[in-house]
Chain A
Amino acid sequence: MAFDYEYYLRQDKMPHIWCPGCGLGVMLKSMLRAVHGMGWKKDDVVVVSGIGCTGRIPGYVDFNTLHTTHGRALTFAIGIKMVKPHLNVIVVGGDGDMLAIGGNHFIHAARRNVDITAIVYNNEIYGMTGGQVSPTTPHGWRTTTTPYGNLEPRMDIVEIAMGAGATFVARSTVYHTGQLEDYIKKAFEHKGFSVVEVLGHCHTGLGRRNKRPSAVQNFQWEKTVAIPLKAMEKLPPEKREGKIPMGIFRDDKEKVEYTEIYKELMKKAAG
């Protein structure tokens, strides 16, 4: 039977604002299937976002929803989770939102290991504001604020999450929808701070200035650029060039989750 997306969507808020061919719809559907797979009640799910195209997801989904300020969604989410740890808190954001203006919050949320899932849509650009360079834009690429090409190196979201101490880290793409759903569900199942980077695209904001103007070209790119982690390890260094590994990079079940630690502290402090 076909999946009933409508059960989870606020249908009166459709149509959404995203461009035809955007990968965000693919990501959202994968996320909803994963939520369904968890068997969570809608009343027990909170979806929090910052600003940007990805930031509009909460408005479309029939959960407890919060559309916060640019980059700061994780801080609100921590407040929610600490007050009601039984709620399932999902934070969605783009690369600019989560890694540039929200970079500090991302690092510290990962370090604390609060049981929140961060789903990061990486389209390598600021889409909503019209295609300005972001921390994950490839070096040399043209954007509306790098008309001569991007001077800066790109940031690796997985590496940042790993370095900061996130206890579940995965990367998939909007082409690999089955795998994406699986990773998001595994992230939900994980007790601790989990990060799923979703490699996507913005063909209108970035692709059309960099010889990848159509949605199909971009899905093709996602299909070929992302290499399973194990396959990547077997590739000789010269063939790894330009490829992006996908897979589960970390699944650490040892590190104790923050709300659990806090519960222990409350018992201890109360004597």
Chain B
Amino acid sequence: MSKKSDLKFMSGNEACAEGALYAGLTFFAGYPITPSSEIAEYLSAQLPKRGGVFIQMEDEIASMGAVIGASLTGAKSMTATSGPGFSLKQEHIGFACIAEVPCVVVNVQRGGPSTGFPTGPSQSDVMQARWGTHGDHPVIAVSPTTVEECFTEVVRAFNLAEKYRNPVIFLMDEIIGHMREKVRIPEPGELEILSRPRPTVPPEKYKPYDESFGDIPPMAAYGEGYRFHVTGLNHDETGFPTNNGKIIQRTEERLLRKIEANKEDIIKVVDMYADDSPEVVVITFGATVRSARAAVRTLRDTGVKAALLALYTVWPFPETQVREVTEKAKLVVVPELNLGQLIYEVERCASADAKVVGVNKINTEPITPVEIINKVKEEL
């Protein structure tokens, strides 16, 4: 039973900030951008009180650089932004990928391209979250559907970042970010909190990318006597640059493998009526899950065997889960607040016998249940 005092009425952005603190956040660097700024504002008040560092940097690139520097010094670190700022952060997201620096990057999505529509809802950074930075790189993206999940899922995002030594994109949207709902704040210890694997060898034996420990090497922090080197260049297990093509290929394959081989742990989906051999499956993420839930219930009330697959992990893409849930389906509907991004992945993975259609909207309004229902009726 929750105590009354655990219940808070807060916005998604505030819940995200509070969840990050629960996860052990001690360093935040950011730059103002709508619709994410409340995260920075909240943390500017909370972090100094709770022994952490808040700093507003001169731009998005600098914020991401400071976050990586802080993480390398041992702090659980986060930044928050929206589409255009997310574009700027890509340079350093790539650095965090190759140098294997845990951090969380919140992207409260808004309309685009460019300055786009700052105050409107959007889910148009699906592909930017996956492919925003150049080169082959591993990506984890987590997406909440309610305000309370902004809290619990950002904790999961931190855990994944720390466990896999990788940046994690927390893919929110303006709807959830600015919505206010009831949030039950978990007791300390109630949610599992993970921290990066730490070295157990003495400094003279430490190698920052020591593959003998498996795909996720232990990580020391600056100032602890390890005196290791970190670079954005391709490097060997000692952390120093290498021109050896074999090592370059092997290391990059390890980076991808540490996510790919742990998909079962990283991927989280929530389904409704999936075990009822659904003929219609709605697949979506973020705020659009809310409309999809209502649409699926209504469809079932009218005799359509409909199901929902909500993707809490967007990347790595839940390929198996999509394949399984669409096995008997005639129709797969992918509502998303963009002109068609997630649908590419769904088309790739869904049953070949199912027709895959999108419900797409970028007119600054959320997708409604009726729009999803109408699409299903039109196609069936």
Contact = CB atoms under 8 A, between A and B. Distances in A.
A239 to B, nearest CB: 40
B75 A83 contact: yes
Interface in A66-87: 66-69, 72, 74-80, 82-84, 86-87
Interface in A54-112: 58-59, 62-69, 72, 74-80, 82-84, 86-87, 104-105, 107-108
Contacts of B241: 59, 67
Interface stretch (B3-11, B45-53, B171-179): B45-53
B204 to A, nearest CB: 12
B80 to A, nearest CB: 15
Nearest to B203: A43
State the majority secondary structure of interface residues on A.
helix
A79 B70 contact: yes
Contact of A43 (B63, B67, B225): B225
Interface in A164-211: none
B95 A82 contact: no
Contacts of B248: none
Pick the most buried of A75, A82, A271: most chain B CB atoms within 10 A of its CB.
A75
Contacts of B74: 83-84
B240 A80 contact: no
A63 B69 contact: no
Contacts of B91: 69, 72
B223 A69 contact: no
Interface stretch (A20-28, A247-255, A261-269): A261-269
Interface string A228-271: 00000000000000000000000000000000001001101111
Given A59-B240, A270-B49, A82 B66 contact: yes
A151 to B, nearest CB: 28
A108 B332 CA distance: 51
Nearest to B71: A79
B77 interface: yes
- Residues of B in contact with A, size category: 35 or more
Given A83-B53, A105-B62, A108-B57, A69 B70 contact: no
A104 B59 contact: yes
A82 B222 CA distance: 12
Nearest to B95: A69
B312 interface: no
Interface stretch (B226-234, B276-284, B320-328, B335-343): B226-234
B233 to A, nearest CB: 7
Contacts of B289: none
The 5 closest A-B pairs by CB, nearest first: A79-B69, A75-B65, A76-B69, A79-B66, A79-B70
26 contacts: A43-B224, A43-B227, A64-B222, A66-B230, A67-B230, A68-B65, A69-B91, A72-B65, A75-B69, A76-B68, A78-B55, A78-B62, A79-B29, A80-B72, A82-B66, A83-B69, A84-B223, A87-B73, A87-B223, A104-B58, A105-B62, A107-B58, A262-B53, A268-B48, A270-B48, A270-B49
Interface of B: 26-27, 29, 45, 48-49, 51, 53, 55, 57-59, 61-75, 77, 91-92, 95, 222-233, 240-241
